[in-house]
Every structure is written in C-alpha cells, then in structure tokens.
Amino acid sequence: MGARRAKPSRTRCASKVPAIRGRAIETTEVETKLRISLLAARAEWSAIMLAIAATSLGGVALGQTVPASTIVNDVPVASGTERVLFLGGQQARAIVVLLPGGNGIIGLDNGGGIHQLGGNFLVRTLGQWIAQGLAVVLPDTPNGTSLTGHRHLPAYADAISRAIDFGRSRAALPVWLIGTSAGSTAAVNGAAHLGSKVSGAVLTSSVTRIGRAGETIFDAEPGAIGVPVLVVSNEYDTCAETPPGDAPSILSALTRSPRKELVTVRGGHIAKRSDPCEAMSPHSCLGIEGMVVQRISEWIRAPGRGWQGTV
C-alpha cells in the first residue's frame, strides 16, 4: 500500500494566522472593521453616483447617444470646425449655451455621444436645463484641441458666436451663456464681445486666480459686458482658483451690466481623494445640482431678463 497523501491545506494563508485563540479573535475584529470601512466607502460612492444619475435623467450620459430629436453639426470656425450639440424641446423659450471647464474637450461624436467631461456640472445636468424650459447648445472645442489659456481670446469669442448662430438656426430664441469653472472665462468673453447675440450670462465657480486654467475671467474684459449677469458661488468650494470670497470682486468688475446679482449656495459633497477643483466636489455643485439649476433658470425666466432678449 502506497504512502498516504497529505490533505491539502484549506487556506493558503493559514501560516500567517496566529494559532493562539486570542490572536484569532483580534484578526476577526480587524476583518470586521475592514468590512465596515469597505461597506461605508461603497455606500458613499453609491450615493454620489445616484446623485449624478438623478441629475443626468433625460440628458446625455457619458458615452451614451442623445435622443434622435437632437442635432449635431460640425460648424465651421476660423481654425477649422467645432462640433456642436443642439438639444431642445418644443416648449423652449430661451437657449442656454453651456461652457464647461477643464480643457473644454467633451469628445462629442457625430451621434451625440459625450465621451469626456461627462461629470462636469453643466454636462451632467443637460436634462435638467431642458426640463426648465430651455434649449441647450453644447459646443465641443474647435478641432478637438484644448482651450486651456485660450478662452479669453477673440478667436474663441468667434467660436462661441458660430455656436450661437447654429443654435438660433434651430430655434430663434434669446441666448444666455452659462460657464462653470474655466468655462466662466468663455462666458465672460462671449457676453463682452458678441453684442446683441447674447441676452445675458451666468458665471458659476468662476476662475479668479491664476492656476491650471492659465487665465481668469478678468482677462476676458468683464467691464465690457452690457447685459444681465448672475454670479453663482458655492460657499463650500475649496478650489484655490475659484475662492467664494472673490465673488464680490466679480460683481465690481461688471461696471456696464444693467443688472447683476450674486447668489451664494451652501452645500455639496466631495468624494474621497477627489481634487477640490474637479467634478466630484462642491466646486462642481455635487449633490445640489438640481437646486442650482433651478435657481439659475428662475433668474433667467424673471421678467425683463431672458424671455425679452433679442430674437
């Protein structure tokens, strides 16, 4: 009879677990604490993703295609083309041109799918703007190149102008520019230099300090803006380039605006290890998107503002 084969160990890490009963209890306690930590982290992330999903309802999710009723067009600009998305309901009474931050590249494909910056405040809330009775124009960058340091330049004001022309070819409505973070510089540029094409502007989490954006809203000549402007600031925004304390200086710079107002919001979540200047933070109104979109839309809808703009 051959030698009896030894039974394999039930666990590969058995040698690492102390044999003393007291130590085994300690290991179990550590494992329990680890499980609790993992569950808490998972719950936090799930809550954040649910908030994003809720704000994206009816809009365009990252990598998805917009409904067939929307229109995508490659619009000629001085340096080539910019791809622009138009999304609008039959009851829309104004157009909002959404100008996101970061490098501005949204990766818009010819079917309307958005493949970059999907977490940006303005991008993830597309459906909410429609629900507020607004049509949306969302431009990608000219030739798909970065806008970093270029949003205050005349060439980009021209690109915004072309996007507006495309939107108004689909719906002859008043146009408001809404910029967030670095996109606020683009909104200032357009509102300052496009005359009657723009009925007003909204600036959220505006860049007022030089940093990764390479420019600030003050480079785009806010003093030349002659239309209503709403400034939205989150008290909990900790991004070094967009300090809430600078909001009054933005209002002071709007010397020609006939109506200007500061709305301060308080709230928002931040994901663990999130950059305070990125989408998963109060800088991008994470968790309070619905309230912010509603406040902005109500301000645009108020008598004497958006609905009475040039058409």
> Has residue 68 got a pLDDT over 50?
no
Of the two residues 242 and 1, the one the predictor is more confident about is 242
| Range 30-42 average pLDDT | 43
Residue 247 structural domain: 57-308
Residue 86 in any domain: the answer is: yes
The reported pLDDT for the residue numbered 274 is 80
Its pTM stands at 0.78
Specify the CATH number for the domain of residue 247: 3.40.50.1820
Asked, for residue 67, whether it belongs to a domain, the answer is: yes
Give 173's contacts (C-beta < 8 A, 6+ positions apart). 92, 93, 94, 95, 135, 311
Residue 214 forms part of a structural domain: yes
Structural domain includes residue 34: no
Could you report the per-residue pLDDT of 190-232, keeping only the tens digit for each? 999 999 999 999 999 999 999 999 999 999 999 999 999 999 9
Does residue 47 lie within any of the structural domains?
no
In this model, does residue 12 exceed pLDDT 60? no
Q: Is 164 inside any structural domain?
A: yes
Show the beta-strand stretches assigned E in 152-270.
Answer: 175-180, 200-204, 229-234, 260-265
Q: Which residue has the higher pLDDT, 90 or 291?
A: 291
Position 97 scores a pLDDT of 98
How many domains is the chain partitioned into structurally?
Answer: 1
Residues 3-9: contacts with CB under 8 Å, at least 24 apart: none
